[in-house]
Amino acid sequence: MANPRIHLIGLGSIGTLVAHSLRSIPAPPPVTLLLHREALYQQFISRGRKIHLQIGEGGPVQESGGYDVELPGDATRSVTEPIHCLIVATKAPATVSALQPIQHRLGRQSTICLLQNGLGQIEELDKHLFPDPLTRPTYMFGIMRHGVYIKSPLEAVLAGRDGSGTIGVVNDQASSASRYLIDRLVAAPLLRCTEMPWRDLHQAQLLKLATNCVVNPLTALLDVRNGALLEHPVLHEMQHQLLEEISMVFRHLPELQHLPGVQGQLSVAALEEQLTSNIQKTASNSSSMREDVRAGRATEIGFINGWVVRRGEEMGIPCPTNGCLAQLILAQSLLQ
């Protein structure tokens, strides 16, 4: 496939970083930003169609341009050309609603790369937008581990240079569009992306999900930074209960039963070791769910603990601690 256009929706921290990184490649691909608000569209135009990325706290600012831009929800600017490569960097709960206005441009020729927290987005997309397997897009997932945050619209700060990304095609069903998109993401030096087979990437997703199931809701409910979760013995017991349920669900997933070593890699002890290491490394961080709750935004709880509860129900494995935590987050969001 000769130099197809890459579309990107979701200009949060990761979306801004990815857009800038793609346009910073030598001989960059054409990139179209899909914006959801007229005000952001006008701001982007007034700023010369530029994105700014600050490298390190107080460090130099890089500028990238050459973007095209669309407002998918604006019927007066409707576009019908097919989308071959789409990167989705919205919050997980917004995936279906974000893609509805461009559903008619997505099909078998398309690759959708999801750079999001949590699991369950593909099931939602298949159910609501792409029910026919014969015309369904190819799906990719990416795990982004970058210390990046939004300073202002269209301007992000990459706090550290040791972040990395992992990407892969769901079920290894690669197409020419997905191969092109992987190559472009891997070629972007700031992203430090590597490609991984789906079997390994899915296990990496589960490990990240286990940590998110503990850190995100507990820090949001207690309104604390990550490191506080290591300070109180009562929290250790709750974390253990969460991971016992999560490990039980993970180790019984039908899609993993043929893989060697899964039982040990997804044991409670392995998940606890990873959790402690992650909290220590990110002790001063404020989780994304805590920030969402504080700002009165919808959280991704349904795609984190909620996913564990749903998969558990499918296999007859009760997950009361994860379910209770999910309900508390939902209740807290309603009270904001």
Q: Where do the domains of the chain lie? A: 6-196, 200-335
For the chain, the average pLDDT equals: 94
Asked if the model's pLDDT at residue 187 lies above 80, the reply is yes
For residues 126 and 45, is the Cβ–Cβ distance under 8 A?
A: no
The Cα 148–Cα 132 span in angstroms is 37
Average pLDDT over residues 197-219: 96
Helix (H) or strand (E) holding 157: strand 155-158
Asked if the model's pLDDT at residue 1 lies above 60, the reply is no
pLDDT tens-place string over residues 273-282 = 999 999 998 8
Asked if the model's pLDDT at residue 234 lies above 90, the reply is no
Question: pLDDT band for position 130 (50/70/90)?
Answer: very high
The Cα 242–Cα 250 span in angstroms is 12
Please identify which residue in the block is written with the tokens 């472009």: 184
CA nearest to 193, candidates 163, 171, 173, 148 = 163
Beta strands across the sheet bearing 85-88: 68-70, 31-34, 6-9, 85-88, 111-114, 138-145, 164-169, 193-195
The CATH class that applies to domain 6-196 reads alpha beta
Average pLDDT over residues 165-188: 96
Pinpoint the alpha helices (H) of 27-94: 38-46
Asked if the model's pLDDT at residue 162 lies above 90, the reply is no
Asked if the model's pLDDT at residue 336 lies above 70, the reply is no
The pLDDT assigned to 73 comes to: 77
The pLDDT assigned to 299 comes to: 95
* pTM, two decimal places: 0.95
Q: Looking at the domain 200-335, which fold is it?
A: N-(1-d-carboxylethyl)-l-norvaline Dehydrogenase; domain 2 (1.10.1040)
Asked if the model's pLDDT at residue 193 lies above 60, the reply is yes
The pLDDT assigned to 309 comes to: 98
Asked if the model's pLDDT at residue 75 lies above 70, the reply is no
Q: Which residue did the predictor score with more confidence, 121 or 286?
A: 121
Average pLDDT over residues 306-323: 98
Average pLDDT over residues 140-157: 92
The Cα 329–Cα 111 span in angstroms is 33
Question: pLDDT band for position 259 (50/70/90)?
Answer: confident
Question: pLDDT band for position 3 (50/70/90)?
Answer: confident
Average pLDDT over residues 285-298: 91
Average pLDDT over residues 139-150: 93
